[in-house]
Amino acid sequence: MNTELIFSWILGAVIIIAFLIPYIKRMMKKEEKARERLKETRSKGQEKALMQHPIINQSACIGCGICVDSCPEGDVLGLINGKATVIHGSHCIGHGKCAEACPLSAIEVGLGDISQRQDIPRLNEHFESNIPGLYVIGELSGLALIRNAIEHGVKAVNHIETSIAENHDNEFDIIIIGAGPSGLTSGLRAKELGLKYLIIDQSEPGGTILQYPRKKLVLVQPVSLPLYGQLKKMEYPKEELLEIWEDVITKEALNLKTKQKLLGIDQKNNGFIIHTNKGDITANKVILGLGRRGTPRKLGVSGEDFGKVMYKLMDAETYKDQKILVAGGGDSAIEAAIGLSHQQGNDVTISYRKSNFFRLKAKNEQRLKEAVSTGKLKVIFDSNLLEITEKEVHIDTQDGQKTILNDFVFIFAGGELPFPLLSAIGIDYGQNITISK
Ligand SMILES: Cc1cc2nc3c(=O)[nH]c(=O)nc-3n(C[C@H](O)[C@H](O)[C@H](O)COP(=O)(O)OP(=O)(O)OC[C@H]3O[C@@H](n4cnc5c(N)ncnc54)[C@H](O)[C@@H]3O)c2cc1C
């Protein structure tokens, strides 16, 4: 072998090593991080996905990590043993960007085995449940995404139109429960078809979108809204998307009642009796677009209706340089408070009605101690939130009433999921679901 050839072999090897070693190091670091994250999400019960999610063909996956980086929600996937793995399933919204990005088509997005699930209603292709005339749409059906919610609303109402009872003696043809994207779309389609409908919501119109972090970019695949037309952009800031909904509600004068909560449903001859906190309503058909987030328990204090009051922390990083009160003393309250206290410039206080925290996870207890001792967090025990105003909160404490300057309030007082209500109505779960993404 001549020296020139040897030299080019050596040069080649040096170049490969120079690139390969940092690459391997980077991948090992990524994997270590993913393992730590999986440990953390497992400890919080957040590793499994609840809705449509990536299902990875492990034998086809080559561990390139492109899917991991393509997730718009962040850390749903990670590399474990050199293979893509769901590590933070509860964060997954089912955008499907990972499946699009995978160069080997090793990812499908779906619900997986739902035969044992008690939170995915059994539905036919029109979203009708085992109770004829009662439909379940949107995220409550198991499929997330605004586009799905809109499509479900249109499909359910189209089917209802073909099957509505003639001369029924109910107040409405359809009652739609939930004014998120699925319920609002159902109302728009019902209006377009000339049906007599009513939408009710326990809160304000907008559904889960109202709970997104401020200025969150919402990805919306091309979809058409009845009476509005195409949602033209692929992404909207949360606030702009909510404006579109508000405009269409006003322009179409949708028959919508807010602060009216569904409590139960009974079947009657030719329809349903819908029990709500504001009395009973009768309708020939019912659409449930309740989402999956349930009903947070409210404290019933004055000012709780302000937009700055939240019942869930979606993303701590969107809150910076803010004065924040967290009311509650369970693990969720503590995790939110710690997360918020680590963001730049935040001034975070926890108000808890008891004299100590009980039964916290060991890790939370430890992190809480550290945050309090370093002055990142303040805790006021034996205290009750009395009133929320635009710029302040008033708290009853053992040393008398305190007023604290405030930008945001997070209340963690528990809540109810929608599934016991569905069971009480008589809706079946599990096998034979026929819907697809
Ligand atoms: C952080 C986050 C980010 C997301 N980002 C995106 C994104 O970028 N793109 C995307 O397409 N999707 C995204 N999603 C998912 C999307 O928001 C949901 O899939 C969609 O809002 C579901 O619409 P829905 O109408 O089925 O339910 P929801 O939007 O949850 O609305 C349900 C409504 O029902 C009401 N309700 C509940 N119970 C009762 C009751 N008992 N009585 C009366 N009313 C009741 C609620 O008050 C609520 O208004 C995201 C979700 C989250 C959590």
How many domains does the chain divide into? 3
**143 CB less than 6 Å from ligand 1?**
no
With beta carbons less than 8 A apart as the criterion, state whether 417 and 292 touch.
yes
Specify the ligand 1 atom closest to the Cα of 217: 8
Considering the domain architecture, whether residues 308 and 390 belong to the same structural domain is answered as yes
* Residue 277 within a domain: yes
pLDDT of residue 1: 61
With beta carbons less than 8 A apart as the criterion, state whether 183 and 191 touch.
no
Calculate how far, in angstroms, residue 8's C-alpha sits from the geometric centre of ligand 1.
60
Mutational test site, ligand 1, from 46, 120, 141, 208, max ligand atoms within 8 Å of CB: 208
Considering the domain architecture, whether residues 103 and 141 belong to the same structural domain is answered as no
* Residue 19 within a domain: no
pLDDT of residue 431: 56
Place of tokens 């702009």: 240
**111 CB less than 6 Å from ligand 1?**
no
Considering the domain architecture, whether residues 283 and 150 belong to the same structural domain is answered as yes
Calculate how far, in angstroms, residue 208's C-alpha sits from the geometric centre of ligand 1.
3
Place of tokens 């890790």: 363
Specify the ligand 1 atom closest to the Cα of 421: 41
Planar angle of CA 386, 388, 389, nearest 5 degrees: 135
**371 CB less than 6 Å from ligand 1?**
no
User: 232-272 pLDDT, tens per residue?
Assistant: 899 999 999 999 999 999 999 999 999 999 999 999 999 99
Considering the domain architecture, whether residues 309 and 274 belong to the same structural domain is answered as no
Q: Which CATH number characterizes residue 335's domain?
A: 3.50.50.60
Query: What string of H, E and C letters represents the secondary structure of 206-251?
Result: CHHHHHCCCCCEEECCCEEECCCEEECCCEEEHHHHHHHHHHHHHH
Distance, in Å, from the CA atom of 286 to the CA atom of 302, rounded to the nearest integer, reads 33
**For ligand 1, atom 30, which residue shows the shortest CA distance?**
291
pLDDT of residue 5: 85
Calculate how far, in angstroms, residue 116's C-alpha sits from the geometric centre of ligand 1.
24
**173 CB less than 6 Å from ligand 1?**
no
Considering the domain architecture, whether residues 148 and 289 belong to the same structural domain is answered as yes
pLDDT of residue 12: 83
Distance, in Å, from the CA atom of 70 to the CA atom of 241, rounded to the nearest integer, reads 23
**254 CB less than 6 Å from ligand 1?**
no
Alpha helices of 232-323 — where are they, by DSSP H? Answer: 238-251
pLDDT of residue 314: 76
DSSP three-state, residue 49: coil
Considering the domain architecture, whether residues 71 and 139 belong to the same structural domain is answered as no
With beta carbons less than 8 A apart as the criterion, state whether 127 and 136 touch.
yes
**For ligand 1, atom 50, which residue shows the shortest CA distance?**
93
Considering the domain architecture, whether residues 138 and 231 belong to the same structural domain is answered as yes
Torsion sign over Cα 266, 272, 277, 279: negative
Neighbours of 312 (CB within 10 A): 14
* Residue 170 within a domain: yes
Distance, in Å, from the CA atom of 63 to the CA atom of 43, rounded to the nearest integer, reads 25
Considering the domain architecture, whether residues 313 and 394 belong to the same structural domain is answered as yes
Distance, in Å, from the CA atom of 189 to the CA atom of 226, rounded to the nearest integer, reads 6
* Residue 87 within a domain: yes
The one-digit pLDDT tens for each residue of the chain (437 residues) are 678 888 888 888 888 888 888 888 888 888 999 999 898 888 777 788 888 899 999 999 999 999 999 998 888 999 999 999 999 998 898 999 999 999 999 999 998 888 778 889 999 999 999 999 999 999 999 999 999 999 999 999 999 999 998 889 999 999 999 999 999 999 999 999 999 999 999 999 999 998 887 777 898 888 999 999 999 899 999 999 999 999 999 999 999 999 999 999 999 999 999 999 999 999 999 999 999 988 889 999 999 988 899 998 877 888 899 999 999 999 889 999 999 999 999 999 999 999 999 878 888 899 999 999 999 999 999 999 999 999 999 999 999 999 999 999 999 998 889 999 999 999 999 754 444 44
Q: Which domain holds residue 90?
A: 25-110
Considering the domain architecture, whether residues 269 and 239 belong to the same structural domain is answered as yes
**177 CB less than 6 Å from ligand 1?**
yes
**153 CB less than 6 Å from ligand 1?**
no
Type of residue at 398: Q
**146 CB less than 6 Å from ligand 1?**
yes
DSSP three-state, residue 189: helix
Calculate how far, in angstroms, residue 181's C-alpha sits from the geometric centre of ligand 1.
7
**Strand arrangement of the beta sheet that strand 323-327 belongs to:** 309-310, 408-411, 323-327, 347-351, 377-380
Calculate how far, in angstroms, residue 261's C-alpha sits from the geometric centre of ligand 1.
16
Calculate how far, in angstroms, residue 63's C-alpha sits from the geometric centre of ligand 1.
33
**For ligand 1, atom 13, which residue shows the shortest CA distance?**
145
Calculate how far, in angstroms, residue 74's C-alpha sits from the geometric centre of ligand 1.
19
**76 CB less than 6 Å from ligand 1?**
no
Considering the domain architecture, whether residues 196 and 343 belong to the same structural domain is answered as no
* Residue 31 within a domain: yes
pLDDT of residue 386: 97
**183 CB less than 6 Å from ligand 1?**
yes
Calculate how far, in angstroms, residue 256's C-alpha sits from the geometric centre of ligand 1.
17
**For ligand 1, atom 16, which residue shows the shortest CA distance?**
145
